Amino acid sequence: MLPHKKKLTLLTLLVVCIYVFYSCTKSVTVDSPTNDGPLAALDLPPIAFNYANQPLPYFFQSQLVAEQDNTPSTNPVTDWGATLGRVLFYDKILSVNNTVACASCHKQSLSFADDQAFSFGFNGGSTKRNSMSLINVKFYRNEKFLWDERGASLETQTLLPIIDHIEMGMPHLDELVSRLKTKSYYPILFEKAFGSQTITSSRVGNALAQFIRSIVSYQSRFDEGRTLINSVRSPYPNFTPQENEGKQLFFNPLLGCNGCHKTETFTAPSPKNNGLENPSIDQGVGAITNDLSQIGNFKVPSLKNIELTAPYMHDGRFKTLDDVIEHYNVGVMPHPNLSSQLRNPDNTPLRLNLTVGEKAALIAFLKTLTDQGIVGDVKFSDPFRK
């Protein structure tokens, strides 16, 4: 007979082995629920990724940043709502011939922008404007979207490319709803996101908007430095002398950079005319509003991850950051609607007249805004199993 203590030890070991075996067996069905069944096409976690309460640094909690947030009370970001939006964002079924998705023109590796001046639509046709980055779009107080701001809200804007005759070519949104109903995974995801399996175009727009609003940049070297000091104008201990020089130039009120790209989100409060040409070939916001004072005005995207989003401007005319800096240095054209940040007191276009070293410093600073966490985060990636 075994001593009493040895019996307890063997019994304990047996219980542990049974528990481990059971846990491993159980994980096949509980921890990996999308390996088979209605969600088999998708690589999704059993518990949704955290989209609603991301660990934003303290300076994102400021009143100025809060005032930029365009999230409506009727469509707050939820974990499952953004998950549904992520699936829709990457699903080519949203195009009439199943060839392109939202992600085709807004690539994660390029900070949700495109490296073509004009993206290609479902039938190979070119879009009329450059696909701008989707970084930090929730921090745009004006609440309107697309370069010419014809998207009255993010919820409605997300549906416009789907029915555009060049981009995705869907004849009407009812056709989109019918298509989504044929996929086994959508009823389940709509129920998780909205409480019922009902699929509507408005819910599609809401889910896409939730996913896009969750794409917030807060892990760049700039953000790391900002957490270490009390003022954005103070030298950052994690910056090189050149990067700190560029930061000082950027935030110098006489140069106008920070006048448009405000707060740590680097977004603007309204559309601007940045003196690309006169007269305006593309009339931008003015063509939508028929307001002469808005001719040549365009939405201003965030500068976060700008290193990854070339080519630049609404028409992709500038291929490099050097080209962009040189435009603001000596190339701003006079225009009746030129932004006040780019005017001298006599209304002539501002000339920065930067030295070679200052231009290099400014570009070095802009590269500190690159957030590799965004481009590598799986929760923003393609969820479809290959």
Task: Give the pLDDT mean for 113-130.
Answer: 96
Question: Could you identify the residue written with the tokens 């050097």?
Answer: 322
DSSP 230-256: S-TTSPPTTS-HHHHHHHHHHT-TTT-
C-alpha span between 141 and 259 (Å, rounded): 15
Per-residue pLDDT at 205 exceeds 80: yes
Question: Could you identify the residue written with the tokens 């063997």?
Answer: 10
3-state secondary structure of 48: coil
Task: Give the pLDDT mean for 228-251.
Answer: 96
Q: What is the mean pLDDT of the chain?
A: 91
Give the pLDDT of residue 20.
Answer: 35
Between the CA of residue 265 and those of 52, 63, 215, 298, what are the distances in Å? 18, 13, 12, 18
C-alpha span between 305 and 371 (Å, rounded): 6
Per-residue pLDDT band for 348 (boundaries 50, 70, 90) equals very high
Per-residue pLDDT at 39 exceeds 80: yes
Per-residue pLDDT band for 256 (boundaries 50, 70, 90) equals confident
Per-residue pLDDT at 314 exceeds 80: yes
Quick one: how far is CA 237 from the chain centroid?
28
Give the pLDDT of residue 19.
Answer: 37
Task: Give the pLDDT mean for 161-168.
Answer: 97
Domains of the chain (ranges, CATH numbers): 58-216 (1.10.760.10), 221-372 (1.10.760.10)
pTM above 0.85?
yes
Of the chain, the percentage scoring pLDDT greater than 90 comes to 87
Q: Where are the alpha helices (DSSP H) in the chain?
A: 4-30, 63-68, 79-90, 102-105, 154-157, 160-163, 173-181, 185-194, 201-213, 221-226, 241-250, 257-260, 285-289, 321-326, 356-367, 372-376
C-alpha span between 160 and 189 (Å, rounded): 22
